[in-house]
Amino acid sequence: MISKEPVLINGIGTVGSRTAHLLLSMGISVHGVKASASKDDLKTQELLALYKRFGAFPLRVVPGEHYDERVRQFKQLGFTVTDKPLRYSTIVDATDGDVTAKNVAGYEQEQRFLVQGGTDFALVKNDFVSAPHTVGKKIGNFRRARQVSCNTTFCSTVLGQVLEHVSAEDIASVDVELHRRCRDPGEKKEFREVLELKHSHHAQDVMNVLPQLAGKLTSKANINSWEHFHHTQLLVMFRRAVDMRVIAEQLKNYPRCILVDSELTENARDGMKTLMAVSSELSVPDADCLLPVYSVHQVSKKSIMIRGFTPQRSVIALSCADWVLGSRGMSWEEAFTHTNKNAKWHGYSIAELKKAYEDNVRVKVAVV
């Protein structure tokens, strides 16, 4: 029996609203915290869409300057605002920067919380992701944790699937290239790019959640003038021959990813256009497909290339939902299975979403 106590989404914006979507779809009560609301703000529009789909849930307005005026703005837009004292035992903190640090310092010892991957590792020093072969399988160890970033989730998820077939000892090295998007859709930032690949934190973060691969990963990242997705590739070198078809079969059977043919991932911009077109046909707004998108390629007998797309805004939401269930007493296996079975994303079950994308992307690529 899942607790009926509400989960607090502290900072229910771009990422927090997507975690809320999954929790609400499973019948888990959610309360949110937000600083401001405006009808022209995309985050506000996404919250209103949650209200339309699931019904109203309470929001708390961040205290501070112009508080009463900001409360009025929320209410004028149709939000339910509460200021009643309520102690939350489970918190998903989707803020960033100094705000997160202040929040973490203020949480009580008894409160369980999960902060987002963009925050400083030193704040919690306990990285979590819900994927096979990761430390997240011991979900009881993560009362207070940092959900790793979108790109780290992409990499650790697929490497967990590689480890279903290959032992860690058989992996010689993993070189990661991350071609990151420059902004979220609707964000009021200029398009920009910094194409030089520079050392990034992602390798260490992946090794935090896959410690059996310690010392084997390197990562470099850049910034590109596109939205919606990151485009990432992993070159995995083995100590023995490995057939990419076996890894592809693992991904085909894994419920939380979209497996596509290599044509889709070769060119980042063309692949994104295809994913956006398929998303439109499936009525998934703004190509926000929830699941990481992978293709697998044989480079040599002892190496494969895994390449694909990370839906930056939503890719960590399933992991966050599992953490919430784990914080309420479920084992990792129970939480993983429960979320897969009961969560809905824009009306699709997780299995339906995977199948719909894989089938429709295949048709689109074939037509092109």
Residue range 62-86, pLDDT digits in tens: 999 999 999 999 999 999 999 988 8
Between these two residues, 362 and 273, which has the higher pLDDT value?
A: 273
Provide the pLDDT confidence category of residue 120 given band limits of 50, 70 and 90: confident
Read off φ and ψ for residue 164, nearest 5 degrees: -65, -25
Tokens coding 43? 């985050």
Q: Which amino acid is at 124?
A: V
Question: What's the mean pLDDT in 12-36?
Answer: 97
Provide the pLDDT for residue 183.
67
Q: What is the pLDDT of residues 292-312, one digit of tens each?
A: 999 999 999 999 999 999 998
Question: What's the mean pLDDT in 351-362?
Answer: 96
CB 2, CB 325: distance < 8 Å = yes
Q: Which fold has domain 150-315+348-367?
A: Dihydrodipicolinate Reductase; domain 2 (3.30.360)
**Mean pLDDT lowest among 97-101, 142-146, 275-279:** 97-101
**Has domain 7-148+316-345 been given CATH number 3.30.390.50?**
no
Provide the pLDDT for residue 263.
94
- Residue 173, classified by CB atoms within 10 Å of its CB into exposed (0-12), middle (13-18) or buried (19+), is middle
Q: Does the pLDDT at position 366 exceed 60?
A: no
Question: What's the mean pLDDT in 96-100?
Answer: 91
Mean pLDDT of the chain: 94
Q: Provide CATH 3.30.360.10 ranges for the chain.
A: 150-315+348-367
Q: Does the pLDDT at position 168 exceed 90?
A: yes
Q: Does the pLDDT at position 364 exceed 70?
A: no
Provide the pLDDT for residue 368.
47
Q: Provide CATH 3.40.50.720 ranges for the chain.
A: 7-148+316-345
